[in-house]
A and B are shown apart, each in its own frame.
Chain A
């Protein structure tokens, strides 16, 4: 079945450090890929997405490139801030075999803590 594997946390960085959170996937068909962020006590918010191979999604200084050859969608940010502290989820979306559902399949999440 479809699955997403992302690096286990927690990840602790100092402000202005470079961030990478690895994400790889297994899917039948041609999925779209997403990164969601969950701040404490809140729901998940869409951070960025890419819908086909070699697409780069970007938002708020975060970037991720859809690499079909390595089935990866790693999240990067050049200089993190304290306000980036949250849980980050990689996810894929693809139709099921009958075409009746397009659920998001999530990784387990990576907790990022940024210290001043």
Chain B
């Protein structure tokens, strides 16, 4: 089944403890991206990757890192999480980056930082 898989689905952590949210797609998509979803603010892009080893900042990159060492994986790293990073996170991918291509989304990771 074609899909984007995120892990974990739920995570509660403490301020400052490094964590990684994994994202993997099995569709050979070139473009991948991370979004966070917050009440009243909607979905905002954190980082994106046009292809392997090509990543760049989205609209809200502060406090996050990413890497794209292979096409299928795009982990999101929080080096020192803070409570304002409590959110619902989505990984997404598309075949190519162009306008006509919609995203396939993962099921989401609900992160709580206390």
Q: Which residues of A contact B (CB under 8 A)?
A: 30-32, 34, 36, 42-46, 49, 51, 89, 93-95, 100-104, 106-109
Q: In the bound complex, what is the Cα–Cα distance between A18 and B92 (angstroms)?
A: 31
Where the two chains meet, the residues of B that have a C-beta atom closer than 8 Å to any C-beta of A are: 4, 31, 33, 40-43, 45, 48, 50, 56, 58-59, 90, 92, 97-108
> In this complex, what residue of B is CB-closest to A51?
B100
B25 to chain A, nearest CB (A): 12
B106 touches A106 (CB 8 A): no
| Given A43-B108, A46-B102, A101-B56, residue A109 in contact with residue B42 (CB < 8 A) | yes
> Whose C-beta in chain B lies nearest to the C-beta of A48?
B102
A44-B43, A93-B101 are known; give 18 further A-B pairs, CB within 8 A: A31-B99, A42-B107, A43-B90, A43-B107, A43-B108, A44-B90, A44-B105, A46-B102, A46-B104, A51-B99, A95-B98, A95-B99, A101-B50, A102-B97, A102-B98, A103-B45, A104-B92, A108-B41
